[in-house]
A = this chain, B = another copy of it.
Amino acid sequence: MRVLAVDVGGSHVSCGAVDDRTLLEVVSIESDGKGSLKNLLPVLAETLMQLAKRHGGNFVGIGFGFCGLVDTTAGRVVSTNHKYSDATSVDVTSWAREQFGLPLVLENDTRMALLGERHSGAASGSDNVVMVTLGTGIGSAAIMEGTLVRGRHFQAGCLGGHFTVVLGGRRCSCGAQGCFEAEASTYALPEICGTWPGFETGPLSREKKLDFATLFSWADRGDSVATAVRDRCVGIWAACALSLVHAYDPELFILGGGVMKSSFPILIAIQQHVDSYAWTPWGNVRFCQSQLGETAAIVGAVPLLQIHLSQR
């Protein structure tokens, strides 16, 4: 099956063409992640046209991953989180029909990435798997007994970043307090550091861009605030993984997202925590990094279209 794909994530946008398990090409598109989805459509259309032309056509549909709550049946974005806030009023299904004469399936971006990892990545052959992406926010997705977890209103599985981990904690972009995402994600990091005791007088306060790469780098150089914030964030991520293991009972846990590119052994720290504390008498959940990285959602367009076409 040959499909076109779009991935509109929290911090990156890309288009791609996939032939079953072969990624034919992926093209990154500049975006600030805060703009308008409507304004993004022309460049997406142009890019997909060029991809189709370069790779010989015969594409059966378009898989469209979006960083928000998505009603897959209606083909509509239901809710966004300060990213592309016009997305709920954009009808991408009609857009695809008019522009390409192709069916389009819309899905949450992390769910689509997990479908991709299962199709030809870290989760090949696994029917019980959870994926978490650590980046701008914290995304999650789950497959249970071979079925992608979506729930009645398409919200199950993808809101793992919004379980409460700190009672009365930091205000999250979703409106609640103390969500995993509010306590340890790239968008929250400047505020987390800024309110940490000792921040003002340390080297972090002189950084223009406070992301996890910068934080880990200062921790490596022995800065006490950077080390403390790093250890706390790793603790939050480990608790998030533990909670998701208890929620969805997976055999395999995939960690992805930009933060995982860091040299700090995040995966080992999380695995050790879950090995020690998960209530899993059957054995240990296996942890691994995303294999497909930023192309996971693009590859996920193939199984997404397969599910869609099999249900018609």
Number of copies: 2
**Interface membership of chain A positions 43-81, coded 1 if the CB is closer than 8 angstroms to chain B and 0 otherwise:** 000000000000000000000000001000000001100
Does A83 make an interface contact (CB < 8 A)?
no
Task: Assess the B281–A246 pair: CB atoms within 8 A.
Answer: no
Known contacts A151-B248, A152-B251, A167-B235, then 10 further A-B pairs from the complex at CB < 8 Å, ordered by chain A residue: A144-B149, A153-B280, A154-B249, A159-B279, A162-B246, A163-B163, A163-B247, A167-B232, A167-B239, A168-B235
The A contact surface, by secondary structure, is: loop
Does A176 make an interface contact (CB < 8 A)?
yes
Does A269 make an interface contact (CB < 8 A)?
no
Does A250 make an interface contact (CB < 8 A)?
yes
Within 8 A of B (CB), among A152-172: 152-156, 159-160, 162-168
Task: Assess the B277–A175 pair: CB atoms within 8 A.
Answer: yes
**Interface membership of chain A positions 243-278, coded 1 if the CB is closer than 8 angstroms to chain B and 0 otherwise:** 100111111000000000000000000000000111
Does A114 make an interface contact (CB < 8 A)?
no
Chain B residues contacting A236 (CB-CB under 8 Å) are: 167
Does A127 make an interface contact (CB < 8 A)?
yes
Given the known A-B contacts A164-B165, A236-B167, are A176 and B279 also in contact in the complex, defined by CB atoms under 8 Å?
yes
Residues of A near any B CB (own CB < 8 A): 69, 78-79, 127-128, 144-145, 149-156, 159-160, 162-168, 174-178, 232, 235-236, 239-240, 242-243, 246-251, 276-282
How far does the alpha carbon of A165 sit from the alpha carbon of B246 in the complex, in Å?
A: 13
Q: Which of the residues B128, B152, B159 comes within 8 Å of A151, measured between beta carbons?
A: B128
**Which chain B residue has the least Cβ–Cβ distance from A150?**
B249
Q: Which of the residues B128, B152, B156, B243 comes within 8 Å of A243, measured between beta carbons?
A: B243
Given the known A-B contacts A167-B165, A167-B235, A235-B168, are A279 and B155 also in contact in the complex, defined by CB atoms under 8 Å?
yes
Task: Assess the B235–A175 pair: CB atoms within 8 A.
Answer: no
Chain B residues contacting A246 (CB-CB under 8 Å) are: 155, 159-160, 162-163
